[in-house]
């Protein structure tokens, strides 16, 4: 159960109402009027709480749960303990996301500018904007309705931020146009200079970075992630893309819609990710690459060549995942053979 000191609480909701929210069907015999107060994990839930099963590894916990109700795929409904009310859905985890958001809606701050915030008179603020203590909003900036600017945030000159975007404490945004409902988490840096130099033995000459950062609607940018502005063209993040903490995105990178980029990934300048690419943690990309739509890049992969649409790659340098797994099996066998050989030598020495 979520700690009420940190999370807003709504409800209770009836099972019928939760079925509507989850886009799920009640199992036969379930009481539509059952009142539920919160969500909880299978092994922690009580009779007034709702849980979910989305992974067969938790079937044992499902079989013994004390939850009042559970979201579950129809194929697994027969494994439920007697008396457990079921909400049947082919996508239990997505259904759980909807229900959890209903029980714990995002807080809605009261509009207003904190006395210790600094907002330039030429900035334009929409209705319901919140600017917290220590934040700075620069000249010509435009903040849409219900934008929430956290403590010590810096919004640079002429930045545009769409409705209902939230910016976490100590983040900074410059040279950027940001869409609606974007989440920028604490410490993120958006729009700073790209890493561009004309290199020479006589000394490296800084190349002016004259592009912007363009961020689409419904994007998430994790804590301490950095997105450099473009050098001549723009750095672009497409709508619905989710970027984890501690990700580095270089200048002129173009990221499509619905991509997922996991923590500690680094994308060098002018590389392009088409729509719905998935990038594992600590993966790295050389510059000027094209990663096709729907491609999947494994954690710690080092990508030095273009990746076709729909491909799965892993390893350094990155190769097709099937080949990478085959090589991994060979390497393990070779290692076992070496260990076996050493053991035989040691046994011979003992004789």
Look up tokens 């559970």; give the residue.
70
15-22 vs 92-103: helix axis angle to the nearest 10? 120
Chain center to CA of 60: 29
Does residue 14 sit in helix, strand or coil? Answer: strand
- Rg from Cα positions in the chain: 26
CB–CB of 321/303 below 8 Å?
Answer: no
Q: Of 59, 84, 48, 53, which Cα lies nearest the Cα of 71?
A: 53
Q: Of 47, 15, 13, which Cα lies nearest the Cα of 32?
A: 15
In degrees, rounded to 5, the angle at the alpha carbon of residue 218 between the alpha carbons of residues 215 and 221 is 60
Does residue 338 sit in helix, strand or coil? Answer: helix
DSSP 215-233: E-TT-EE-TT-EEPPPSSS
Look up tokens 């620069």; give the residue.
138
Token code pair at residue 276: 């719905």
Catalytic: 175?
A: no
Token code pair at residue 286: 């050389």
CB–CB of 116/135 below 8 Å?
Answer: no
Choose the catalytic residue: 104, 175, 204, 251: 251
Identify the bridge partners of residue 89 per DSSP, sorted by sequence position.
none
Catalytic residues: 251
């Amino acid at each position: 159960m979520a700690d009420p000191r940190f999370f807003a609480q709504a409800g209770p909701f009836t099972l019928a109402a939760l079925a509507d929210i989850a886009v799920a069907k009640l199992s036969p015999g379930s009481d539509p009027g059952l009142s539920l107060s919160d969500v909880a994990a299978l092994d922690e839930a009580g009779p007034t709480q709702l849980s979910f099963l989305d992974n067969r590894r938790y079937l044992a916990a499902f079989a013994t749960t004390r939850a009042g109700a559970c979201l579950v795929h129809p194929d697994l409904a027969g494994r439920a303990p007697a008396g457990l009310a079921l909400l049947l859905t082919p996508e239990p985890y997505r259904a759980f996301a909807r229900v959890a958001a209903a029980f714990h809606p995002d807080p809605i701050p009261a509009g207003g500018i904190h006395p210790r915030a600094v907002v330039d008179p030429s900035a334009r603020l929409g209705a319901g904007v919140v600017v917290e203590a220590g934040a700075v909003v620069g000249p010509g900036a435009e903040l849409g309705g219900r934008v929430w600017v956290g403590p010590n945030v810096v919004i640079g000159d002429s930045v545009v931020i769409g409705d209902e975007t939230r910016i976490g404490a100590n983040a900074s945004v410059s040279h950027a146009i940001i869409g609606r409902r974007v989440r920028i988490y604490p410490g993120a840096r958006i729009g700073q200079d790209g890493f561009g130099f004309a290199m020479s033995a006589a000394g490296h000459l800084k190349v002016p970075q004259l592009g912007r950062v363009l961020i689409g609607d419904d994007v998430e940018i994790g804590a301490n992630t950095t997105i450099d502005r473009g050098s001549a063209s723009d750095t672009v993040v497409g709508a619905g893309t989710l970027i984890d903490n501690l990700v580095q995105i270089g200048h002129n990178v173009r990221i499509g819609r619905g991509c997922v980029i996991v923590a500690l990934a680094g994308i060098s300048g002018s590389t392009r990710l088409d729509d719905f690419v998935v990038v594992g943690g600590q993966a790295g990309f050389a510059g000027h690459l094209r990663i096709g739509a729907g491609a999947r890049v494994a954690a710690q992969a080092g990508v030095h060549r273009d990746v076709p649409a729909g491909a799965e790659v892993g390893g350094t340098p990155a190769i097709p995942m099937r080949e990478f797994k085959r090589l991994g099996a060979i390497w393990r066998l070779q290692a076992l053979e070496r260990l076996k050989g050493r053991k035989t030598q040691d046994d011979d020495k003992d004789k």
